[in-house]
Structure formats: C-alpha cells, structure tokens
Amino acid sequence: MSTDPVTPSSASPDCGLSRRLPRTAYVLLWFPLSSETFIFREVQRLAALGMPLRVYTMYGKQLRGSSEEMRRCPLPVMRLGTRATFRILGAFFRALRRDPGAVWKLMREGLFRRMRNLEALGENVWCFLAGFLLAEQARRDQVELLHSAWGNGCATAVWVASRASGIPFAFTGRAGDIYPQDGILREKCRDALFIRTNNMANVPWLQSFCPDDEQDKVHAVYNGLTLAQRTECEMPFTPPYRLLAVGRFCRTKGFPELLTMMARLRREGLPVQLTLVGDGGWRRKLHAMRRRLGLEGVVDMPGFVPNDRIREYMRSHDMLVVPSVVHTNGDRDGIPNVIMEALSCRMPVVATDVCGIREVVEDGVTGLLVPQRDPAALADAVRRMLSDREAAQRMAEAGRERVLRMFDSETTIRQLAELYADQYDDWKASRPDVWLFTRGLPPQDD
C-alpha cells in the first residue's frame, strides 16, 4: 500500500492548527487493531488536525474483531511482517557495512539484555532488526519525527531507526509496555526526544529511567474518548441487577476476583447477573472457573465485542465493575478506557485502586474505589452502589462531568499535536546541522 501521508487536504480546513506539524511516522505492531481503538482514534484525529502522518507496522495485517469503521480505514499503512524478512535483513547488513562500529554498539545495547519473557525477547529482536529498514524508509519518506505508540517492541524499532538515520524519536508509555520494564527501557528513555504517557501515575515511573537532568521530558496527555456516539444508561436498578465488565482476558484485569465476587453475592442472595465481555489467553481458565463456581446461569461471556457495540451493553446494564490488579511482576493497567466510556454514558462504576484509575474514579465522588485482589470489598461496593440509586446517579453524573472535561477528544488531541510540534521545533532549533542531515541537505556555514 502507498505510504503517502494523510495531510490537511483530507480533512476539514477549519480543523487544523495554525502552526506547522512535523511529518510524523506512527509506529505500531499492528494497525488498526480491534483492542486498540484509542490509538485508532488518536491517529484519525491527528490526521484530521493537519499532521502529515505515515503509519508503519512491525507485523502484518490483523483485522480480526475489528469494527467496520476500522476495516474501511483510508489511512495508508506500510506493513512489514514476515514478508519483509529479506528486506529487513538487507537493511541490517547495509547498515553494518556502512558503519560496523555503530551497529555493533547498538547490538550490545539493544540485543543482549534480559527481557521479561520469551515473547518479549522475540518481539524485541524482530523490532530491533526492523528498525534498520524503518530508518531507510523514513529517510525516503522525509519523516521528521518517529513516534512509537507503545514503549516496548515498536519503541525499540524507532530507537534503532533514530540512531541509524538521525531522525529524532519519541514514544508513548502506557501500561504493560512499561510494567515491568524491558531490558532497554532506560536506553530508550535516555535517547528519546520526549516521552508521552496517558496518565499521571506513570510520570514518576518513566522519569526514574531518564537522566537526572532530563526528567522533564516526560509529559502526560490523556487519551481522548473513543466511542463515536454517546448514549446514556437508564440505571433501572431493579432485580435482577445487571453488572458489566469489559477487557482482555489476561492477568491484569482481575476477572478471577470478579467471578469470586459473583459467587459471594449469589451465596448472600443478592439477585445479580454479570456480563463479562472479552477474550484472550485466559479464556479457558475463566470459563472453567465459571463452571466450578456454578455461575453459568448468572455470568454471560459473549466473547470479544467491537468497540462500536460496547455502548449497547452499557445501555442495558446497571453498573460497570473494573477489578484491575497489579501482577506480581509489576504488569498493570494504566487507566482502562472502558471506565471513561462508561462514565461518559452516565454509568456508575466500581473499580480497584490500581495505577491511574484514581485519577478518574474518586471514591464516593465519581464512583466507588476498593483495594485490589479483594472480592469481599468488591462485593461490598456493588451492594452499596445498588442500595442507593440516588447516590449512584449522583456519582455517575459527577463522573461524566469529569471525563468529558479530562478526556475531551478535541482538547487532548490538540495537546498531543502541540507537544509534537513544540518538542520538534525545539530540537530543530538546537540541532540545525542534524536537522539538515535528516532532510538530505548539506550543513549550512555559520
């Protein structure tokens, strides 16, 4: 597919910023990806705002479970994947011939470090090698800023591409991509022009990997709301009460504790039903746990549901429950986007106090917040919410006001675009010879 950038001509002339935005490469593992609607929206909105964008993916196409809007996405994407293996190896050996010392130094820094698991190791090696091809392509496409949407493998690719091309890079650190840190997070933080994160709780964590005099390079810019349309939940709060939980079936979502909570509430005679929306590696484990606890009649597990259909579930349920946990290795959620979407629909929320969730769910004000890994506390919070419909409505309304203010799509995307423009302009002013080199121009004499 062509990699011509999406430019202001493809958007309304009134939606762009007055200043020039850098020609930016957005680098991901996949794009679009059904579970990353927030990134899909981010790229859409930046393009509409006037940023010249190219999207590069380290892997091939993955549209399973994607919404029709994602499938029809007109944004140009250059995908690598296994079909690009020989091109990647060719770019690596060309770089090795040009400057073997620099390439060997990169390999010592980026390849021979301990990663969190074999999957992360394989991803890092692939993205490390792919970075050399990305460098060549970015130079041909006259990219001015390399940006990785995550802090793990694709950030490795832009780190390598930046070292090989001279083009500055940045990355966004969110959740499991930086917790636990991979073996070269410190090097990526050291060399990045800037780092963006999507919640305040991540700021000190990322700063701890930056040089002491560069901790101000970490910037928090929230995700924008992702649902294309708004709805409002009716909250009838009549038996049987309907609870909703949404997320990947993985170790950070706390769904075993959620099922334990459901068994507890049923033993106590509270008429509750749960819809657990999602899929993932823990699917068999959670289905088996549902059978073992005798919850098949009260816990519905419909599988993965595209983001554009989530509002249908929100409209038909009384409350969202988000039982996130921190894994023993440090892996965790940032702020699950489903919280913001539920509150924007005026849906009451019960959640655990993990990472950035308290930035949205303030206990007793915008929802109920409980300790992680405590099914009894979860059950108590659900009972409290169901016992006082007026208080639930009041918290849901306060939550709606908070998320519409904090996660307003137009505001957050302009903040992000301004961050890119400010940081790139500062770099260009401080490094004029490097900037000219990345543009293929000779350095200017003083």
What would the pLDDT profile of 135-149 be if each residue is shown by its tens digit? 999 999 999 999 999
- The letter for the amino acid at 1 is M
What would the pLDDT profile of 201-214 be if each residue is shown by its tens digit? 999 999 999 999 99
Read off the pTM: 0.90
pLDDT band at 433 (very low <50, low <70, confident <90, very high): low
The arrangement of strands across the sheet holding 24-28 comes to: 77-79, 53-57, 24-28, 145-148, 169-173, 194-197, 218-220
pLDDT the model gives residue 446 = 37
Give the Cα separation of 326 and 306 in Å (integer): 26
What would the pLDDT profile of 25-75 be if each residue is shown by its tens digit? 999 999 999 889 999 999 999 999 999 999 999 999 988 888 888 988 888
Give the Cα separation of 158 and 108 in Å (integer): 17
pLDDT the model gives residue 443 = 42
pLDDT band at 311 (very low <50, low <70, confident <90, very high): confident
pLDDT the model gives residue 434 = 55
Domain map (residue ranges) of the chain: 8-224+409-438, 241-406
Contacts of 216 (CB under 8 A, 6+ apart): none
Token pair in block for residue 122: 């394989």
What would the pLDDT profile of 337-390 be if each residue is shown by its tens digit? 999 999 999 999 999 999 999 999 999 999 999 999 999 999 999 999 999 999
Whether residue 78 is predicted with pLDDT greater than 70 in this model: the reply is yes
Which is higher by pLDDT, 320 or 10?
320
- Can you list the pairs that 183-186 forms with residues at least 24 positions away whose Cβ atoms lie under 8 Å? 183/113, 183/114, 183/115, 183/124, 184/109, 184/110, 184/113, 184/124, 184/156, 184/159, 185/151, 185/209
Give the Cα separation of 6 and 148 in Å (integer): 18
How many other β-carbons are positioned within 10 Å of the β-carbon of residue 292? 10
Whether residue 176 is predicted with pLDDT greater than 50 in this model: the reply is yes
Name residue, tokens 């959640």.
351
Whether residue 442 is predicted with pLDDT greater than 70 in this model: the reply is no
**Same fold? 8-224+409-438, 241-406:** yes
Give the Cα separation of 330 and 332 in Å (integer): 6
Which is higher by pLDDT, 115 or 89?
89
How many other β-carbons are positioned within 10 Å of the β-carbon of residue 296? 11
pLDDT band at 19 (very low <50, low <70, confident <90, very high): confident
| Cβ–Cβ under 8 Å, residues 435 and 423 | no
Contacts of 166 (CB under 8 A, 6+ apart): 434, 437, 438
Give the Cα separation of 396 and 343 in Å (integer): 6
Whether residue 234 is predicted with pLDDT greater than 80 in this model: the reply is no
Among candidates 192, 174, 219, which has minimal Cα distance to 39?
174
Among candidates 322, 333, 346, which has minimal Cα distance to 402?
346
Whether residue 10 is predicted with pLDDT greater than 50 in this model: the reply is no
Among candidates 191, 192, 196, 245, which has minimal Cα distance to 218?
196
Fold assignment, 241-406:
Rossmann fold (3.40.50)
pLDDT the model gives residue 430 = 85
Q: How many residues does the chain have?
A: 446
The CATH architecture that domain 8-224+409-438 belongs to is 3-Layer(aba) Sandwich (3.40)
φ, ψ for residue 76, nearest 5 deg: -75, 140
Give the Cα separation of 259 and 323 in Å (integer): 10
pLDDT the model gives residue 115 = 84
pLDDT the model gives residue 80 = 95
pLDDT the model gives residue 64 = 84
Token pair in block for residue 352: 């655990």
Give the Cα separation of 46 and 31 in Å (integer): 15
Q: How far is CA 125 from the centre of its chain?
A: 22
